[in-house]
Amino acid sequence: MARAAKTEDKPDPRARIVDALMALAGERLWEEISISDVCHRAGVTLAEFRDFFPSKGAVLTGFSRRIDHIVLEGSSDDLAGEPAKDRLFDVLMRRLDAMAPYKSALESVARWARNDAAGALALNQMAVNSMRFMLEAAHLDTEGPVGALKTQGLVLAWLRVLDVWFRDDDPDMSRTMAKLDRELARGGDWVKRAERVQELARPLHNLFVALLTQRRPPPRRRVRDDRDEPIGV
């Protein structure tokens, strides 16, 4: 019975792999970490690793989902009556709190991405997926062209906030909070402009769609004439 209880308390292999990668990323350069290193640290075989993840990047996506889950589980409607900027500020501060134990590892990943274009693109997509849920947690719309602009804009703002967070050693994170506040204020201004442009363009868009979908009369069928037949047929 004691053996069974001990087994139940042991984290599942997927969680151990994520933990192992983040621990290694905090100790060395990202590009120096091999999948075999992660397997050794996590106590799994290469076959087991492959069952759960196709690459290190996929493990990093698993970590991002873990952070998303922590933040979303802590979401509430307490700030429902607050301005949009304050709601999003609260959500993103909770995200920083969840990320705090992995700060050095995330800084290592960020350094690697600055010199790896393909890696940067993959991380951007991962961040877009996460920020979409952060916006939803703050009760902000993410649909349509403006929603896409809002989500990608938040990703870029978040990267600038992280650059400050990596160097902010104050327990109260005053510099990080000030940076986040400025970025959200600037982003809010851009979103308002985009919404105004979309509203102004809506009548033209509707007219264009109407013209494209307008029913056209069917083509007139040509009456057959024997004179049209080629000679000899």
- Per-residue pLDDT, 1: 42
Task: Calculate what percentage of the chain has a pLDDT beyond 70.
Answer: 76
pLDDT value for 6: 46
pLDDT in tens, 38-79: 999 999 999 999 999 999 999 999 999 999 999 999 876 777
Q: What is the pLDDT of residue 136?
A: 94
Stretch 85-107: mean pLDDT, rounded? Answer: 96
pLDDT at 170 over 50: yes
**pLDDT at residue number 9:** 60
Indicate the residue type of 201: A
Would you say residue 171 has pLDDT above 50? yes
Distance between terminal CA atoms of the chain? 95
pLDDT at 145: 87
Q: Which residue has the higher pLDDT, 18 or 224?
A: 18
Cα 55 versus chain centre, distance: 18
CA–CA distance, 161 with 180 (Å, rounded to integer): 6
- Quick one: average pLDDT of 10-35? 94
Lowest mean pLDDT among 110-114, 191-195, 207-211: 207-211
Total Cβ atoms within 10 A of residue 45: 11
pLDDT tens digits for range 217-232: 556 666 555 555 444 4
CB 115 within 8 A of CB 96: no
What is the chain's mean pLDDT, rounded?
A: 84
Does residue 137 have a pLDDT over 60?
yes
Mean pLDDT value across residues 85-104 = 96
* 180-201 burial: b if 16+ Cβ within 10 Å, else e: beebbeebbeebeebeeeeeee
pTM: 0.78
In sign, the C-alpha dihedral spanning 104, 107, 111, 117 is positive
Q: Which of 96, 99, 102, 100 is nearest to 22 (CA)?
A: 102
Q: What is the pLDDT of residue 205?
A: 44
Q: For residue 185, what pLDDT is reported?
A: 92
Residue 11 pLDDT grade (very low, low, confident, very high; cuts 50, 70, 90): confident
On whether the CB atoms of residues 164 and 101 are closer than 8 A, the answer is no
> Is the pLDDT assigned to residue 4 strictly greater than 50?
no
